[in-house]
Amino acid sequence: MIYLLTYDISSNAIRAKAAKRIIAEGYERLQFSVFVGRGNPKANKPLWAGLNKCLETEPTAKLFVVAITENNFRNMLTIGKNNLDVCYLLGNKNTMFV
Protein backbone atom coordinates (compact mmCIF):
# COMPACT_ATOMS: atom_id res chain seq x y z
CA MET A 1 0.00 0.00 0.00
CA ILE A 2 1.17 3.53 -0.78
CA TYR A 3 0.27 6.40 1.53
CA LEU A 4 -0.33 9.93 0.34
CA LEU A 5 0.11 12.61 3.00
CA THR A 6 -1.11 16.12 2.37
CA TYR A 7 -1.38 19.05 4.74
CA ASP A 8 -2.75 22.55 4.97
CA ILE A 9 -0.62 24.51 7.44
CA SER A 10 -0.44 28.29 7.28
CA SER A 11 2.47 28.78 9.71
CA ASN A 12 5.83 28.64 7.92
CA ALA A 13 7.63 27.31 10.99
CA ILE A 14 5.12 24.55 11.71
CA ARG A 15 4.90 23.61 8.03
CA ALA A 16 8.70 23.35 7.75
CA LYS A 17 8.90 21.26 10.92
CA ALA A 18 6.19 18.86 9.70
CA ALA A 19 7.80 18.53 6.25
CA LYS A 20 11.21 17.84 7.76
CA ARG A 21 9.74 15.15 9.98
CA ILE A 22 7.86 13.48 7.12
CA ILE A 23 10.92 13.47 4.85
CA ALA A 24 13.12 12.13 7.68
CA GLU A 25 10.79 9.13 7.91
CA GLY A 26 11.39 8.23 4.26
CA TYR A 27 8.47 9.86 2.47
CA GLU A 28 9.14 11.56 -0.87
CA ARG A 29 7.82 15.02 -1.64
CA LEU A 30 5.49 15.12 -4.66
CA GLN A 31 4.55 18.78 -4.28
CA PHE A 32 5.14 21.38 -1.59
CA SER A 33 2.43 19.99 0.68
CA VAL A 34 2.07 16.45 -0.70
CA PHE A 35 4.23 13.44 0.22
CA VAL A 36 4.15 9.76 -0.68
CA GLY A 37 5.58 6.72 1.02
CA ARG A 38 5.13 3.01 1.64
CA GLY A 39 4.63 3.05 5.39
CA ASN A 40 1.37 3.80 7.15
CA PRO A 41 2.18 7.01 9.06
CA LYS A 42 -0.33 6.20 11.81
CA ALA A 43 1.44 2.87 12.45
CA ASN A 44 4.71 4.79 12.90
CA LYS A 45 3.99 5.98 16.45
CA PRO A 46 6.90 8.47 16.75
CA LEU A 47 6.00 10.09 13.40
CA TRP A 48 2.28 10.24 14.18
CA ALA A 49 2.85 11.65 17.68
CA GLY A 50 5.33 14.21 16.32
CA LEU A 51 2.91 15.37 13.62
CA ASN A 52 0.08 15.61 16.16
CA LYS A 53 2.28 17.71 18.42
CA CYS A 54 3.28 19.99 15.53
CA LEU A 55 -0.23 20.52 14.27
CA GLU A 56 -1.96 20.99 17.62
CA THR A 57 -0.29 24.39 18.01
CA GLU A 58 -2.17 25.73 14.97
CA PRO A 59 -5.96 25.38 15.26
CA THR A 60 -6.59 25.54 11.50
CA ALA A 61 -3.88 23.05 10.49
CA LYS A 62 -4.99 19.87 8.74
CA LEU A 63 -3.23 16.68 7.66
CA PHE A 64 -4.84 14.03 5.49
CA VAL A 65 -3.60 10.50 4.82
CA VAL A 66 -4.93 8.52 1.86
CA ALA A 67 -4.10 4.86 1.27
CA ILE A 68 -3.62 4.00 -2.42
CA THR A 69 -3.12 0.57 -3.90
CA GLU A 70 0.19 0.08 -5.65
CA ASN A 71 -1.63 -0.62 -8.90
CA ASN A 72 -3.58 2.65 -8.71
CA PHE A 73 -0.41 4.56 -7.84
CA ARG A 74 1.47 2.97 -10.76
CA ASN A 75 -1.35 3.96 -13.13
CA MET A 76 -1.85 7.53 -11.95
CA LEU A 77 -2.21 10.18 -14.62
CA THR A 78 0.11 13.18 -14.66
CA ILE A 79 0.42 16.34 -16.69
CA GLY A 80 3.57 18.39 -16.81
CA LYS A 81 7.16 17.62 -15.93
CA ASN A 82 7.20 14.48 -13.80
CA ASN A 83 10.45 13.56 -12.06
CA LEU A 84 8.76 10.96 -9.92
CA ASP A 85 10.41 7.54 -9.98
CA VAL A 86 7.35 5.35 -9.45
CA CYS A 87 9.32 2.09 -9.61
CA TYR A 88 11.61 3.27 -6.80
CA LEU A 89 8.69 4.37 -4.62
CA LEU A 90 6.96 1.02 -5.15
CA GLY A 91 10.07 -0.82 -3.98
CA ASN A 92 10.90 -2.24 -7.40
CA LYS A 93 14.24 -0.40 -7.46
CA ASN A 94 16.84 0.03 -4.78
CA THR A 95 18.67 2.96 -6.35
CA MET A 96 17.38 6.27 -7.66
CA PHE A 97 19.51 8.43 -9.96
CA VAL A 98 18.93 12.16 -9.63
User: What is the phi/psi pair of residue 14, to 5°?
Assistant: -70, -40
Count of structural domains within the chain:
1
62 belongs to a structural domain: yes
16 belongs to a structural domain: yes
Q: Tens digit of pLDDT for each residue in 42-92?
A: 999 999 999 999 899 898 999 999 999 999 988 888 888 777 777 777 777
Indicate the pLDDT class of residue 98, thresholds 50, 70 and 90. low
63 belongs to a structural domain: yes
Does residue 65 contact residue 39 with C-beta atoms inside 8 Å? no
98 belongs to a structural domain: no
The CATH number of the domain where 44 resides is what? 3.30.70.240
97 belongs to a structural domain: no
Does residue 90 contact residue 34 with C-beta atoms inside 8 Å? no
Which residues form the domain of 42?
A: 2-71+78-89
SS3 category, 70: helix
Q: Tens digit of pLDDT for each residue in 49-61?
A: 999 998 998 989 9
Q: Is 85 exposed, middle or buried (0-12, 13-18, 19+ CB in 10 A)?
A: middle
